[in-house]
Amino acid sequence: MDQYRVFGNPIKQSRSPIIHQSFAEQTQQQLNYQSEYVELDQFEQTVKDFAKNGGKGANITVPFKEQALRICDQLTERARLAGAVNTLCFVDGKILGDNTDGQGLVQDLLNNKVQLKTSRILLLGAGGAAKGVILPLLAQLPESIVIANRTIAKAENLIKQFNNKKLSALGFAELGDEKFDLIINATSASLSGNVPPIAKELAVNTYCYDMVYGNELTPFLQWAKDNGATKVMDGLGMLVGQAAESFRIWRDVHPEVISVLHQLR
């Protein structure tokens, strides 16, 4: 049976095996997908051993996504621009790297009937999570994407790499009274119970998305709801979406995500 893995550290919390198992059942694919804990200094060796032993593909999660990029023989443009790889394919002794996170986000937003074309998007954060979604968001032809970050220099550096007129960089305090259609929280603030310090007026009549997910509303989504957001969405749909895109790459079939998302909730 074809073998797949998700490699990470930590990995116990990973939902990827359940998601891919559901996709496999749904599409009647015969495959085995497991999570594997990798010691911090063993990443490259572990991946190469898995490939040598016939592994077909792998997902890569924290903290190995940047390292994964460096061991690939070939990269997709979206992986190169994201500076990180979350999906590997092993083909003819070569390692092919892709990044499906941004596509997962876009697909989840579209599934939630959020219009991206001609929309004004505020992206909070300028770390790896933000970087990974910029190209797929641009591909949806928004009017503009403002990247706001606590450390402004990081947001400025980020937009330099993309060289696209639709992108601009600001600090949180510089966000004036411009209205956005969609605010995406790509900071890790929710993980420590914090909300990026932006004016509460920005949430009014806006779609708000947090890449973080949990059993309860994240601090950012609670803030958004309290301040009049039209709709709040957490990142569980992005997780299922990125998995679906990896599955498509490996198996050449599009799994259906909504039922799997309901199952997880």
- Would you count residue 187 as binding ligand ATR (CB under 6 A)? yes
Q: Identify whether 165 is a catalytic site residue.
A: no
Q: How many Å apart are CA 10 and CA 36, to the nearest integer?
A: 9
Q: How many Å apart are CA 20 and CA 34, to the nearest integer?
A: 9
Helical axes 128-138 vs 152-162, angle rounded to 10°:
40
- Would you count residue 99 as binding ligand ATR (CB under 6 A)? no
Tell me whether residue 184 or residue 260 sits nearer to ligand ATR (CB atom).
184
**Interior angle at CA 41, CA 40 and CA 44, nearest 5:** 105
Name the phi and psi angles at 59, rounded to 5. -100, 150
151-170 residues in contact with ligand ATR (CB under 6 A) are: 151, 154
The single residue among 194, 205, 259, 263 that binds ligand ATR, judged by CB under 6 A, is 194
The single residue among 150, 166, 225, 248 that binds ligand ATR, judged by CB under 6 A, is 150
15 burial class (0-12, 13-18, 19+ CB within 10 angstroms)?
A: middle
The single residue among 27, 46, 67, 188 that binds ligand ATR, judged by CB under 6 A, is 188
Residue 49, Cβ neighbours under 10 Å: how many? 11
The two structure tokens encoding residue 38: 């990798």
Task: Assign 39 to helix, strand or coil.
Answer: coil
Among 12, 48, 52, 65, which one carries the catalytic annotation? 65
The two structure tokens encoding residue 194: 């914090």
CB of residue 189 to ligand ATR, shortest distance in Å: 4
The single residue among 57, 102, 104, 125 that binds ligand ATR, judged by CB under 6 A, is 125
CB of residue 151 to ligand ATR, shortest distance in Å: 3
Question: Between the CA of residue 182 and those of 12, 128, 195, 203, what are the distances in Å?
Answer: 33, 20, 16, 9
**Count of residues interacting with ligand ATR (CB under 6 A):** 16
Tell me whether residue 31 or residue 175 sits nearer to ligand ATR (CB atom).
175
DSSP one-letter code for 140 = T
> Which residue is nearest to ligand ATR, using beta carbons?
127
CB of residue 62 to ligand ATR, shortest distance in Å: 8
The single residue among 59, 149, 206, 242 that binds ligand ATR, judged by CB under 6 A, is 149
CB of residue 42 to ligand ATR, shortest distance in Å: 21
Query: Which positions touch ligand ATR (CB under 6 A)?
Result: 125-130, 149-151, 154, 187-189, 192, 194, 196
| Active-site annotation, residues | 65
